[in-house]
Amino acid sequence: MSLLSNTATLLGKELRTEFRSRELLTTTVVFILVVLILFSFAISPTTEESREFGPGLLWLAILFAASLMLQPCFLREQANDTLSSLRLAVSDPFAIFLAKLIANTFFLLLTETLMLPFFAAFYNIPVLPQVHYLLLVLFLGSLGVSIVGTALSAISAQARMRELLLPLLLLPLLTPVLVVSATVSVSLLDREPVVQWKGVGFLAIFDFIFLTALWLFGEYLLEE
Amino acid sequence: MTSLTLPPTGLRFENIDKRYGGLFALRRVSLEISPGECVVLTGRNGSGKTTLLRVAARIVRPTAGKLSFPGASTETDANGRPGYVAHTTMVYDELTAEENLVLFARLQNVPEPAARSEELLREVGLYDRRSSPVRTFSRGMRQRIAIARALIHRPSVLLFDEPATGLDPLGISWLAKSLGEVHRAGCTVVMSLHGESEISALATRAVRLDGGSVVADTNSGASLHSILAFGGG
Amino acid sequence: MGKRIVFGVAAVLLVVAAAYANFFIAPTERTMGLIQRIFYFHAATAWAGETTLFVCFVANLLYIWKRSPKYDWLGVTCAEVGLVCITVVLITGPIWAHPVWGIWWTWDARLTSTFVLWLLYVSYLLLRSLIEEPDRRALLSALFGVFAFLDVPLVFFSIRWWRTQHPAPVIMGGSGSGLDPTMSKIFFFNVLVMHVFAAFLIVERYVLEKMKHDVDLLQREAEAQ
């Protein structure tokens, strides 16, 4: 199907471009690291408190990092007007969004996985026992962040003060993701871990709703 | 370029309006371009030439009116999609020439994308720079990769916005020769130009725009020379 | 013009009538006393705000579909009036809560989602101020408006289901549930009045937006020459 093959081709391009320069990945990893460290300077939690606050702080750091990481998403298509040549070439403009959001989810997830050992060390929270469930939550949460973030970055790329605008538009919209991901992560990393399937389901529904909205309205986001 | 059997395709603009916040960039433009014509659009800056080409390329959505391509094979066939060259290359600086062409070939379902890319790279004379990132290219080379990208899917309509900008006389000669070949192969060409040159000599028809409307057309009896001569920027 | 003046006067008179009813007709609530009277105004404004923002959502969808500028005018108008309503709710809430429960704020589902709603529509208006070309501004803000409105129920339920671990006073209590019949009637009268007043603000703001558009158009035409 043309949508899938276009998406695969564009995804290849997104990944190739990023892995060639690795600018975005390195800066995002360092940024989350810095934020996590600063949090522990500001709060200096005890070990027990770490378990309660740590995951929330991790998700906050992820959200901040994402709102920076998503800036170039559509901006880089403005340099040589490649957005126009893409729109000309693809059969369904949704392929452009799909490729970008999959790439963004992948980069976010990669960054988060790289951060996990540091997070475990700084906050004294063993993550290995529940790592598979944790990765599931990280995936669903990051997917939500990417779907909404990719859509909004298409909007902010067309406005002034876009560096400030994107976080301003993005962060309030992602409140549900922050609340649910943080809470589910806390109970996963508790001394007696519990998997909150209702929360996992909620994240999946969030992702589904916004993916559908992006599918319905995406082409208008790119219109001239 | 290479000899191709293209389904001859024309362009039909019916009462096209394009408004930007109340100001008309295009005002009731109706134009019928027959398959195989080589049309030059002239007019001052801001007369609507770029907007008209972008509407034809389907990058800009008209506020009113209808655009169609009489003779195009099918809606989904890549041949029905025009090739479009503008002021920027519309390719990725960080990718190599070859990677860019293969990307656009794949997106448009061109059979054997790698072979087709190689073919075009040779034709535009970029084959030995195929593995260099486009950001290292000179202005003339950028023009050539842009043309290669536009032609990758063998379009039957080619849209060209001020092709000669920034080219030296050698570049202009090469461009005139290439456009001539594309035209002879059956492609309908629409390009915006300022003044007369080797490139405008290829034209079978000229249309002058002013204030977003068509004000002169060789089809209505005006001479090619008079339309082109007035078309200063 | 004449109709608008009549409407305006009627709206203001209704608000005065509602205020009178709130302070002089409504019986004093047993536990909370005088301060409880603010509840009528507070909850009714909340309902009016929510209706207004729903109209904004519909206007946004209509603009995306039809592209007629009047839907854009309706959208920005409802966003502003809705935002005013929400601001009033966020201010009157704590005014009521503090004497009664001793706290200014709590992160319960209703309050938090109201606050996020406020943030979202502030962002909507901010986005509009940062895009100059009118058609782009209309389309992009309509798209953001749709996304924002879709988010609201998600925000509400995420807080309701995952953030009510500590017992929190339900500040905007079940409106109408178990209320004394007189109070009930007064409450619904307030709801009606606030909707009428919001409608009046919407009409006036809409007219202003249309005029702004016409002036902007003239200015652009003049500059083009």
Of A9, A20, A89, the CB nearest to B94: A20
Q: Quick check: A152 contacting C, CB < 8 Å?
A: yes
B57 and B1 together in one domain: yes
B36 and B17 together in one domain: yes
CA distance A144 to chain C (A): 12
The answer to whether residue B87 is domain-embedded is no
B189 and B143 together in one domain: no
Q: Quick check: C62 contacting A, CB < 8 Å?
A: no
B74 and B175 together in one domain: yes
Predicted confidence at residue B78, as pLDDT, reads 58
Predicted confidence at residue B5, as pLDDT, reads 53
The answer to whether residue B200 is domain-embedded is yes
* Cβ contact, residue pair B86, A84, below 8 Å: yes
State the average pLDDT over residues A30-54: 86
Please report, to the nearest 10 degrees, the dihedral formed by the alpha carbons of residues A146, A149, A150, A156 taken in order: -170
Q: Which of these three, B132, B154, B176, is where a domain ends?
A: B154
Predicted confidence at residue C22, as pLDDT, reads 81
**pLDDT tens digit string along B72-109?**
765 545 556 899 999 899 999 999 999 999 999 999 99
Predicted confidence at residue B77, as pLDDT, reads 54
Measured distance CA(B34)–CA(B8) in Å, rounded? 9
Domain boundaries, chain C: 2-165+176-224
Predicted confidence at residue C164, as pLDDT, reads 65
| Structure confidence at residue B6 as a pLDDT band (50, 70, 90) | low
pTM of the predicted model, to two decimals?
Answer: 0.91
Q: Quick check: A78 contacting B, CB < 8 Å?
A: no
Query: In the predicted model, what is the mean pLDDT of chain A?
Result: 93
Residue range of the domain that includes B186: 1-82+156-233
The answer to whether residue B222 is domain-embedded is yes
Predicted confidence at residue A85, as pLDDT, reads 95
- Name the most confidently modeled range: A135-149, B69-83, B109-123, C4-18: A135-149
> Chain C partners of B23 at a C-beta cutoff of 8 Å?
220-221, 224
B38 and B12 together in one domain: yes
C18 pLDDT above the threshold of 90: no
- CATH number of the domain that B168 lies in? 3.40.50.300
What percent of chain B stands above pLDDT 70?
92
* Cβ contact, residue pair A88, B81, below 8 Å: yes
Measured distance CA(B100)–CA(B117) in Å, rounded? 9
A79 pLDDT above the threshold of 80: yes
| Structure confidence at residue B167 as a pLDDT band (50, 70, 90) | confident
- Report ipTM for this prediction: 0.92
Q: Which of these three, B138, B154, B170, is where a domain ends?
A: B154
Per the structure, how many domains does chain B have? 2
CB pairs under 8 A between A and B: 65
Predicted confidence at residue B232, as pLDDT, reads 43
State the average pLDDT over residues B110-125: 93
B99 and B185 together in one domain: no
Q: Which of these three, B154, B172, B187, is where a domain ends?
A: B154
**Tokens found for residue B133:** 């990132």
By CB atoms closer than 10 A (0-12, 13-18, 19+), residue A45 is middle
**Cβ A71 vs Cβ A31: under 8 Å:** no
Instruction: Spell out which chain B residues touch chain A, with contact meaning CB-CB distance below 8 angstroms.
Output: 54, 57-61, 76, 81-82, 84, 86, 88-95, 99, 103-104, 106-109, 149, 153
B111 and B188 together in one domain: no
The answer to whether residue B165 is domain-embedded is yes
| Structure confidence at residue C90 as a pLDDT band (50, 70, 90) | very high
B170 and B206 together in one domain: yes
B187 and B103 together in one domain: no
Query: In the predicted model, what is the mean pLDDT of chain C?
Result: 86
B146 and B57 together in one domain: no
B3 pLDDT above the threshold of 60: no
**Tokens found for residue B111:** 């059979």
B121 and B12 together in one domain: no
Show the beta-strand stretches assigned E in chain A.
Answer: none
B71 and B161 together in one domain: yes
